[in-house]
């Protein structure tokens, strides 16, 4: 994996030189402040120039799609988004290669297949804030679904209902340091929306509905951190499936018997875990202590899970993300695709 250098590395190095250069010399407070400010100004100017020059020197035209092929064979279709051409666009990956589904000047992210595999729901920000859209599997007939969502970020999560007639999505609002998440559902025919699971009072989002039972898996806020949770749409009862505030993104297998989710409880870095829908039989599936694994999605036959992997993680999703697959029975991990950009949020269909 290719690592990006820290933007603070050169600053720290220069500050150490400043400290060592004047160590042991009697300096007045005013002189120390003056010298320090001069050094910081120089660092800032050189840092900005260095970043721009480096970007210009290293900027290369995006590779031809025909040159990007999956590293291992697989069956079905995987939609994902990547920024290797400058901004986030949606791509379709098959065993034959890659097809670009969107091509514009804004971000298109987080594609999710409809239950019948005919459509894709995704988030896009042509007006500056993210709304939910749908399109056909070939990238045609793009239709805006929500008009008041106005999310500042595009990846809090959305999901189709099992019958494909509605979409559940996450609403995100930030006021100062306070962030709130909740979910709404919109009927695709009437375009009427309403609050989803209002019984859950704490922040919550990233929905996934069970294909075989009236169950909703989601991520719920703990006092400290987030955990995987389950809501019974029939009894209207909810419960947390994990503890410790280090788990998120539960995702049902197609047969409804398992949940894949993300947890950092083993090594304080995100791994893909499995459990039963009642929270039993938890076990770690990916055991890669040097990396972070996120955004799991099941293969159509539930034998594999595709996910995104990165060597360092931040809330802005920076880093060299790539797509990997793990075999559920053996835990064997294989590289699937690594473009020059960040390859994120895969979702698998037949």
pLDDT at 59: 56
Q: Which of 42-51, 76-85, 132-141, 221-230 has the lowest mean pLDDT?
A: 42-51
Query: Which of 80, 250, 116 is CA-nearest to residue 188?
Result: 116
Residue 212 and residue 202: Cα distance in Å, rounded? 27
Counting other chains too, the contacts that 137-142 makes at CB distance below 8 Å and 24 or more residues apart are 137/77, 137/92, 137/113, 138/101, 139/90, 139/92, 139/99, 139/100, 139/101, 139/102, 142/102
Structural domain for 101, as ranges: 65-349
Q: Which residue has the tokens 């100062």?
A: 176
Name the nearest CA neighbour of 100 among 73, 126, 128, 62.
62
- Same domain (yes/no): 171, 54: no
| Proportion of the chain above pLDDT 70, given as a percent | 83
The answer as to whether 154 is a domain residue is yes
Burial state string for 123-132 with b = 16 or more CB within 10 A and e = fewer than 16: bbbeeeebbb
Residue-wise pLDDT for 245-302, tens only, equals 999 999 999 999 999 999 999 999 999 999 999 999 999 999 999 999 999 999 999 9
Q: Which residue has the higher pLDDT, 18 or 311?
A: 311
Q: Assess whether 171 and 47 both reside in one domain.
A: no
Higher pLDDT, 61 or 185: 185
Whether 291 is covered by a domain: the verdict is yes
* Shared domain check, 90 and 41: no
Share of the chain above pLDDT 90, in %: 76
Strands 131-136, 226-232: pairing is: unpaired
310 with 178, same domain: the answer is yes
| Residue 217 domain flag | yes
Q: Which residues pair with 298 in a beta bridge?
A: 305
Based on the structure, what is the number of domains in the chain? 2
Q: What number of helices (H) and strands (E) belong to the chain?
A: 2, 24
In a domain, 4, yes or no: no
Which pair of structure tokens corresponds to residue 149?
């969502």
218 and 72 together in one domain:
yes
pLDDT of res. 58:
54
β-sheet bridge partners, residue 237: 232
Tokens of 96: 């034959």
pLDDT tens, position by position, 306-346: 999 999 887 788 889 999 999 999 999 999 999 999 999 99
What is residue 62's predicted lDDT score, i.e. its pLDDT?
80
> pLDDT per residue over 28-48, tens digit each?
444 444 444 444 333 332 333
pTM: 0.83
Read off the pLDDT of residues 90-121 as tens digits, 9 standing for 90 and up: 999 999 999 999 999 999 999 999 999 999 99
With beta carbons less than 8 A apart as the criterion, state whether 111 and 122 touch. Answer: yes
Of 58, 76, 98, which closes a domain? 58
pLDDT of residue 34: 44
Residues 133 and 84 in one domain: yes
Based on the fold, state whether residues 120 and 85 are members of the same structural domain. Answer: yes
Q: Is there a single domain that holds both residue 241 and residue 192?
A: yes
- Whether the per-residue pLDDT at 53 is higher than 80: the answer is no
Domain end among 40, 58, 76:
58
Residue 88 lies in a domain: yes
With respect to residue 3, please indicate whether it lies within any of the assigned structural domains: no
Residue that is written with structure tokens 């800032």 in the block: 44
Q: Are residues 119 and 148 in the same domain?
A: yes
pLDDT at residue 38, as a whole number: 44
Domain assignment present for residue 1? The answer is: no
Q: How far apart are CA 339 and CA 63, in angstroms?
A: 9
Mean pLDDT of 149-172: 97
Based on the fold, state whether residues 86 and 172 are members of the same structural domain. yes
Q: Which of 58, 78, 96 is the last residue of a domain?
A: 58
Both 172 and 309 in a single domain?
Answer: yes
The CB-side HSE value for 42 (13 A sphere, CA atoms) comes to 9
Written as six digits, the tokens of 148 are: 């008041």
Cβ-based neighbour number of residue 275 at 10 Å: 20
Find all residues with CB under 8 Å of 79, minimum gap 6, and list them.
Answer: 90, 91, 92, 93, 101, 111, 112, 113, 120, 346, 347, 349
47/137 same-domain check: no
Mean pLDDT score of the chain, rounded to an integer? 87
Q: The CATH number of the domain where 165 resides is what?
A: 2.120.10.30
Give the mean pLDDT of 71-95. Answer: 97
Residue 48 in any domain: the answer is yes
């Amino acid at each position: 994996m290719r690592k990006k250098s820290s933007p603070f590395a050169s600053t720290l190095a220069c500050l150490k030189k400043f400290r060592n250069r004047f160590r042991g010399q009697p300096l007045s407070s005013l002189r120390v402040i003056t010298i320090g400010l001069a050094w910081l100004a120089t660092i800032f100017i050189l840092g900005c120039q260095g970043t721009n020059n480096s970007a210009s020197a290293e900027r290369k035209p995006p590779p031809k799609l025909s040159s990007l092929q999956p590293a291992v064979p697989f069956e079905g279709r995987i939609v994902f988004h990547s920024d290797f051409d400058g901004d986030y666009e949606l791509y379709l990956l098959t065993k034959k290669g890659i097809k670009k589904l969107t091509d514009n000047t804004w971000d298109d992210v987080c594609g999710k297949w409809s239950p019948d595999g005919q459509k894709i729901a995704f988030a896009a920000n042509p007006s500056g804030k993210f709304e939910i859209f749908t399109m056909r599997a070939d990238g045609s007939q793009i239709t805006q679904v929500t008009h008041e969502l106005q999310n500042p970020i595009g990846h809090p999560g959305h999901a189709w209902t099992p019958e494909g007639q509605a979409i559940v999505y996450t609403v995100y609002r930030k006021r100062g340091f306070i962030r709130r998440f909740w979910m709404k559902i919109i009927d695709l025919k009437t375009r009427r929306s309403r609050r989803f699971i209002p019984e859950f009072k704490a922040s919550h989002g990233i929905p996934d509905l069970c294909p075989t039972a009236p169950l909703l898996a989601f991520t719920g806020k703990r006092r400290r951190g987030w955990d995987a949770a389950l809501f019974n749409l029939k009894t209207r009862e909810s419960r947390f499936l994990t503890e410790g505030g280090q788990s998120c993104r539960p995702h049902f297998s197609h047969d409804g018997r398992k949940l894949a989710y993300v947890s950092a409880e083993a090594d304080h870095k995100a791994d893909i875990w499995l459990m039963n829908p009642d929270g039993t039989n938890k076990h770690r599936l990916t055991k890669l202590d040097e990396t972070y694994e996120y955004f799991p999605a099941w293969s159509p036959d539930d034998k594999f899970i595709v996910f995104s992997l990165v060597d360092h993680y931040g809330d802005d999703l920076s880093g060299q993300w790539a797509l990997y697959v793990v075999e559920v029975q053996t835990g064997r991990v294989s590289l699937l695709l690594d473009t020059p950009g960040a390859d994120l949020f895969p979702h698998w269909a037949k």
